[in-house]
Amino acid sequence: MINTSRSRIVVIVTVLLALVAAIIAIGLGSVFIPVSDILSTIFGSSSKAVNATIIWDIRLPRVLLAMIIGANIAISGALLQAVMGNPLADPGLTGVTSGAAACVLVIMLAAPQYTEFIPIAAFVGGLIAAGIVYALAWRRTGISPITIILSGVAVNALCGGLIGLLTIMYSDRLPAAVQWLNGSLAAKGNNALMMVFPYAIAGWILSFFAIRKANIIRLGDQVASNLGENVNRIRILLSLLAVFLAAISVAAIGMIGFVGLVVPHMARLLVGSDYKYLLPMSMALGALVLLIADTGGRTLFAPLDIPAGILMAVIGGPYFLYLMRKKAF
Amino acid sequence: MFTVDSISIRYEQKSVINNFSFSVKKGEIVSIIGPNGSGKSTLLKAVSRLIPYHTGTVILDGTDLKTMSAKQVARKMCMLSQKNQAPSDMTVIDLVSYGRYPHKKWFERLNQEDMDIVHWALEKTHLMEYKDRAVASLSGGESQRAWIAMALAQRPLIMLLDEPTTYLDISHQHEVLELVRELNQDMGMTVVMVLHDLNQASTYSDSIVVVQAGEKAMYGTPNEVMTTDMIRDIYRMDAEVQYVPTEKKPRIHLLSTVR
């Protein structure tokens, strides 16, 4: 039994942990900056101009970007899981991420003059993928884990093929897209942060309004409808929101898998399945996990900068297998 | 109170319920019985708006169901399916409090009055001592009572139950039906339920509707409906029907399948 005051404390502790991790991550890198210098640069007038440049222009944007995107993908996964009534629903496995990526890549490689439409392309691509998954996996009785995985496999294969085709057709322009394809935050500065930030804030506010609906829909379609809810409308709105959050993340830094699967699952173990706690917990934990993945990727193998997406796949894949083994689904 | 007037339901071009009418008076318990596939659950789902009906009208407390919003319906009528699944860590009191949401706007929180009603529903279903347990950890009968408590917290005028006893063993079946009777007698709750067991239908109902192949085969009191002829026609079974003076209701003993 999970008690609610404990859940509240766990959420607060996770948020604090994420903040501490952020400060440590800002310090780590080819130039080490002690915590005291970081705090004095951020909160006061620092004497060292070099530190200020490193912090404001390089490390802080990257740290914030990792956290925002981690939170986005985790919320997206948590919402999809509510909507599909299924713990395997994650933007990566269902193909939303690769659908968004394929559409982004079309613009990046085939029509680079329209870069400003990348977020919209990502959203459209994600919606198409989600639509296909619904069309393939939806039965009158709901969605079973098997059909989600199978339709996800189909959508992922389709988008993977499309992505492969694009990379061959435009191989001369590929280098710019390689980092993005692997889900890397390297060389992402204030521009990417400024692009994501307003969308993320909007998405978070909307997801907090979605908490009650997500809770009601988890009682099942018939019960929700008996409680006077329009189940289909809830499902569509929550899916739109989940796709939106995943898509803006893809638009900014590319494909990052498993965060949307692993993080809500860990959050559920820690605070239970009530979205009043699960959603903020997923958000905080997602921020923490992706921050660790990104910081680990750029420091552990320095001077190599391993994309966070690759690190997440290396950690997330085995975790997924472990969940299967434990019959968590 | 509750009138179903010549409704028809089609599913994938096939007619499942055809021109069906019945009405329920306030404070009555009405059971719907019939063989598998006769359309009785479909009928209940349609009149509770879970699935659409194509022609006819359903009047709930003087208002046409189709002119009411889903929330308005949820404040007057509740429907419980045969099997419900709560998230594994949801407590009884949490589940029951969802019954208050039809009375709330989307941003409104539950207030003291709502919590009083939730506690009242827990008391009525004898679940007070279980209120902080997970629904998933309860026995079949207790968990069915928890779902009934949620339905009660909606403060409905009428309760629709779709095979409330199907997945329960006999003592839990008894427990749930006794609770239904208690709610009916104490609060005047109007109940319409689909049942399989003829004896349960006979014992607990004021009226019985018999459905066969989507049509109303019979409608009347247990005494009128529970006859050897009805059981032979509808279920292809030979049976003896015994009138028990102490229960004032017929008791059915099934003998063998009609060859």
3-state secondary structure B20-60: EEEEECCCCEEEEECCCCCCHHHHHHHHCCCCCCCEEEEEE
Distance to chain B for A18, nearest Cα, Å: 26
Which has more confidence, A286 or B259?
A286
What would the mean pLDDT of B186-205 be, rounded to a whole number? 92
A142: left (phi over 0), alpha (psi -120 to 50) or beta: left
Question: What letter does residue A273 receive in the DSSP assignment?
Answer: S
Residues A273, B73: C-beta atoms closer than 8 Å: no
Which residue in chain B is spatially nearest to A218 when comparing CA positions? B87
Q: Nearest by CB to B87, from A222, A229, A273: name it.
A: A273
Question: What is the model's pLDDT at position B78?
Answer: 92
- Contact between residue A211 and residue A275 where contact means Cβ atoms under 8 Å apart: yes
CA distance B178 to B134: 23
Question: What is the model's pLDDT at position A1?
Answer: 45
Is pLDDT of B150 > 90? yes
What would the mean pLDDT of A226-232 be, rounded to a whole number? 87
Distance to chain A for B258, nearest Cα, Å: 35
> pLDDT tens across A84-109, in order?
887 778 888 888 999 999 999 998 88
Question: What is the model's pLDDT at position A275?
Answer: 93
Strand order in the sheet with B77-80: B77-80, B158-162, B190-194, B29-33, B207-212, B215-220
Question: What is the model's pLDDT at position A45?
Answer: 66
Residues B89, A273: C-beta atoms closer than 8 Å: yes
E-state strands within A37-187? none
